[in-house]
Structure 1
Amino acid sequence: MSKRLTLGIFGFGVVGQGLYDIIKTKDLNLSIKKFVIKDPTKERSLPASLFTTDASVILDDPEINTVVELINDADAAYDITVRALRSGKNVVSANKKMIATHLEELVKIQQEHGTSLLYEGAVCGSIPIIRNLEEYYDNELLHSVSGIFNGSSNYILSKIFNEKQSYEVALKKAQDLGFAETDPTLDVGGYDPKYKLAIVASHAYGLYINPDEILNLGIDKLGNSDIQFANEKNYKIKLIPLAKEVDSKHVVLYVLPKFIRKDNILSNVENEYNGVLVKAAFADEQFFYGKGAGGHPTGSAVLSDITALRYDYRYEYKKHLESQQVEYSTDYQLEVYFRYADEKTLEQIQFDSISERYYAENFKYVIAKINLQEIIKKRDLIHQDGNFLAEII
C-alpha cells in the first residue's frame, strides 16, 4: 500500500505548471497543500490561497511530508533542500547546478536523517537515466556514458545544420521560443551539460566531482568557417558531455563540441530533444531518447520521483560504497580541430602531434592530438575570441 503524500512545491514556472497539469489528471494518493513563489503580484491560474512567498509555511508545516523544489536559484534551492531533509521531509528537485555542486554533502544529510532526495528531472528532462544507472546498471561495467544533455544548444545546432541558419539567427530563435535564456552562456557555454555530467558520473561510477574541475567548452565561439568545414567533411557538430572509463581505475569527464559523422546515432537527435548513449561491457550499447526540456517532459520526470516516494524509494549510491573505487583523471589524449586567429596562440599550445594544417587569410586551423590536461591548462587561451576547439570522433 502506498503512503499518502502531502506536497509543498517551490516554484510555479514552466515545470511547476507542467507538473500541476499532470497531477490533476491522475488519482495518485497525493495532494498539493501550498506553492511558494517569488512574485505575489503575478497572475496565476490557481486560487491565490494556494500561494505564499514565505518558505517557512512549507518547511515548518508538519503535515507536508514531501518538498518539491523547482526554482532557478541554486543557492536558495540548496537552503530549501537542506532544511527539508533535516526536518524529516523527503525532497524532489530539478536543480542540476545545486545537486552537482553539493551532492556529497546532500547524500550524507539523507543518511543521517533517513530522508530521500530524488532528482531525475535535473538530468535530460523526460529521460529516466538516473534511475537506470542506479538500478539497471548497478553491477554493470560501464565503458562510457555520453550524449546530448542540453536541448537549447542542440536546437541551435539543428537550425544551423538542417536549415542553414547562422549561429546568431538560430540563437535568437531559441531565445524567442524560450529554449535559451537572455544570457545563454549556461547552455551554449556547456555549463548546463557539465552539471548534468557530474550527476551522471556519480551514479555511473561512484564519483563525487566538483563541477568546477570538469572542462567545459561550448558552441558560443562557433563561426561560419567551422560550419563550412563540418559540411565539407560530412560532419555535424553536437555539444557532447562524456564520462568514460579509460582503464579499470580512472574515468575522464569533459564537455566539448564534437564533429560527428552523420551515421553516428547522436547526429539524429535534433532540436530540443536529448539522447543518452550508454556503452557497457555486457549490455553493449543502449540509447535513451526523449524531450530534454519543457514543462510536461520535465514535469513527468519530477512526478516519477514523487510517486516513487510513496513507496519510500531512495538512491542507494551503491557504487560509492564499493571497495575498488575509480578515480577522476584528466590524463587523456583527444584528436581535435582547433581554429585560431593568431599564430602566437598556436605557439603557446603544446600539441602531441599535428596531422593537418590549413592557413588562409581569414581561416586558420589545425587537426591535432592533444592531452586533456593541456586543454584545461590553456583553456582561456584556447577559448578566447577568434578561436574554436572541437573534438573529432
Structure 2
Amino acid sequence: MSRKNLNIGLFGFGCVGFGLYEVLQKTPGLKANISRICVKDKNKPREIDKQHFTYDKNEILNDATINVVVELIDDADAAFEIVAAALKKGKAVVSANKKMVAEHFEELLQLQKQYNVPLLYEAAACASMPIIRNLEEYYDNDLLESIEGIVNGSTNYILTKTIQENLIYETALKQAQDKGFAESNPLLDVGGFDAKYKLLILLAHAFGHIAKPDEIINIGIDNIGELELKYAREKGLKIKLVAQAYKNPDGKITAFVLPKFVGPENRLYHVDDVFNGVITKTAFADTHFFVGRGAGAHPTASAVLSDISALSYDYKYEYKKIERGEGSGLTHDVYLKVLLRHRHEDNIVLKDHFVTIEESYTNNHSAYVTGVISLTNLKQIGELFGGTSFILIETVAAQHYQPELVD
C-alpha cells in the first residue's frame, strides 16, 4: 500500500508542538509537511520563523489543501471546537488532549461516523507507549479481563523522588514543574484527573464501554503525607498512582484511580521516574506488560508522529468492541483493602465505614487504619472528611463480604 501525502495544519506550538516539528524533520520517509501553525500569542518568541504561523484558526480550517489537523493545545474546550470543526470539514485529526477526548467521546465518535474521517489520539493515553492501537487490534478477540497501570508520568516522577530520594512532596513537585513534567497548576496531574481521563479512553478501547468522568472515582497523590511514605519504606514498598479497570464475574466493569502500595514482585514497582507502565490480563494470553516514557516533548511527539504515519495509510479506529455492544456498565459494588490516614477526631466515625479493620494506629501526630472497605464508602469518606489519604493495598473478592454489612 502506497502512502499518501499529508498536508498538516498544526494547532499549538508548545513543548510537544515544537517536538513534533523537530521529529518530522528527521523522518524524511514520511510524506508529511506542516503547512501552517496556529498559535494565540503574537508576541511570544518562537524557535522558527514567523512566516510559518497564523493567529486565525480559520486559515487552517478553511484551507482545502490541508488534509490533516494536529491539535496540541492545553484548553480542552477550545480543542473540542477545533477538532469538531476539522472533522466537519472532512479533515483527519490527530490530538493529544486526553481531557477533550474523554469528555466528548460520544460526540467525537458520532462526528467520525457522520463525516467518515478518522480521529487518532494515541498520545492522549500514555505518551510514547502504543497502548490504544494494541487494545484496538491485538486484543480485538482475546477476552480482556483487566488493565491497570501507571499512566501519568508527572505523578510517577514525584512519587519516585519522595520514596527513593526522601524529598518532601512540595520539593518533588517543584522539580517536576521545573522540568516541564507538571503544569504550573498541577491539580490535573496530582489530583488523579489526568489519569482518570486516560482510563476513560482505555475503557472504551479495552472493554467497549463509554463512561463519563463523574462515573469514575479518582483520588490523587496530593494528600499523601510522611506517615504513608514511612509505612512504605518500612515494608519495602513503593507508592504508585494506578489506574485500573477489570471485569467482574457478572460482566460489569469496575474502574478507578487510586494511589497503591506495590512490592518488588509487581511489575509496576520497577516503573520509575516519568515512565508509564501498563499490565493487561486476558483469558488466553495471560499477562502482557507495556512500558515507555509518559512525559516529555519528544516521547509525546513520537506518538503523534505515529498517528500521522498511520493516517498516511488511511488507518482509523474501528471501535469494534463498542460496535459489538460489549460494554456492560460500571459497578462500584466492590471491596478494597486500603490504608487510610485520618485525623484523630474522625477515628470512630471513619471505622464505621469499614467492613473489617485489620490494623489501627494512633499517636500524638497521626492516625491510620488498614482494612476492607467498599468502593462506594471510600468515595463517601473522600467527600465527607478532610485531611484523609487513601492508599490501595489490594482489591478483595466481593464474595468474601455480604453487602448488608456495609453502611
Q: TM-score, normalised by structure 1?
A: 0.97
Cα separation, 2, equivalents of 1:152 and 1:323: 34
Alignment of 1:1-393 (within 5 A): 1-27=2-28, 28-344=30-346, 346-348=348-350, 350-382=353-385, 384-385=386-387, 387-393=388-394
Tell me if structure 2 keeps the 8 A contact 1:90–1:116: yes
Structure 1 position 342, deviation (Å): 3.3
Structure 1 contact 205–319 (Cα < 8 Å) conserved: yes
Q: Shift of the alpha carbon at 1:381?
A: 2.5
Cα separation, 2, equivalents of 1:346 and 1:262? 34
What amino acid does structure 2 have at the position aligned with 1:355? Answer: E
- Structure 1: unaligned runs, 5 residues or longer: none
Farther off after superposition, 317-326 or 132-141: 317-326
* CA drift at 1:323: 4.4
After superposition, what is the alpha-carbon deviation per residue over 1:249-269, rounded to whole angstroms, capped at 9, x for unaligned? Answer: 211110000111122110111
Inter-CA distance 231–336: structure 2 relative to 1 (3 Å threshold): same
Match of residue 404 from structure 2 = none
Counterpart CA distance in 2 for 1:14 and 1:162 is 28
Point out the more displaced range, 291-300 or 168-177: 168-177
Offset, 1:185: 0.9
- The alpha carbon displacement at 1:379 in A equals 2.2
| Cα distance change, pair 8–345 in 1 and its aligned pair in 2 (3 A) | farther
Tell me if structure 2 keeps the 8 A contact 1:340–1:346.
Answer: no
Aligned CA-pair RMSD? 1.2
CA contact under 8 A between 2:209 and 2:326: conserved in structure 1? no
Match of 2:398 in 1: none
Please report how far the alpha carbon of residue 343 of structure 1 lies from its aligned counterpart in structure 2 after TM superposition: 3.2
Cα distance in 2 for partners of 1:329, 1:64 equals 44
Q: Deviations over 1:124-178 (max 9, x none)?
A: 1100000000000011111111111111110011111111111122112112212
Amino acid at match of 1:357: S
Instruction: State the Cα distance separating 1:345 from its structure 2 match.
Output: 5.7
Deviation at 1:368, TM superposition (A): 1.1
1:267-318 alpha-carbon deviations (Å, 9 max, x no partner): 1111111111111111111111110011111101001101111111110111
Letter of the 1:329 counterpart = T
Give me the whole-angstrom Cα distance separating, in 2, the residues matched to 1:185 and 1:346.
30
Q: How far apart are the structure 2 equivalents of 1:185 and 1:340?
A: 21
Q: Secondary structure at the match of 1:35?
A: strand
Amino acid at match of 2:24: I
* Residues in 2 aligned to 1:374 and 1:168: alpha-carbon distance in whole angstroms: 29
Which whole-Å CA distance do the structure 2 matches of 1:345 and 1:354 have between them?
12
Distance 1:273 1:7, change over 3 A: same
Q: 1:296 to 1:346 in 2, by over 3 A?
A: farther
Q: Deviations over 1:68-114 (max 9, x none)?
A: 00000000000000000011001000000000000111001100110
Between the aligned partners of 1:174 and 1:141, the Cα distance in structure 2 is 38
User: Residues of 2 paired with 1:74 and 1:102: CA distance?
Assistant: 10
Q: Which runs of 4+ in 1 moved over 6 A?
A: none
User: 2:115 corresponds to which letter in structure 1?
Assistant: H
Q: Classify 1:88/1:346 alpha carbon distance in 2 versus 1 (closer, same or farther; 3 Å).
A: farther
Number of residues paired by the alignment? 391
- 3-state SS, counterpart of residue 352 of structure 1: strand
Report the secondary structure of 1:328's partner residue: coil
3-state DSSP of counterpart to 1:64: coil
Query: What letter is aligned with 1:358?
Result: Y
Q: Which amino acid aligns with 1:247?
A: P
Which amino acid letter does the alignment assign opposite residue 55 of structure 2?
T
Report the 3-state secondary structure (helix = DSSP H, G, I; strand = E; otherwise coil) of the residue aligned with 2:354.
coil
Mapped contact 1:248–1:326 kept (Cα < 8 A): no
Instruction: Give identity over the alignment, percent.
Output: 48
Structure-2 separation of matches of 1:45 and 1:324 = 47
Q: CA deviation at 1:248?
A: 4.5
Query: 1:109 and 1:247 mapped to 2: Cα distance?
Result: 34
Q: 1:59 to 1:335 in 2, by over 3 A?
A: same
Which one-letter code corresponds to 2:122 in the other structure?
A: E
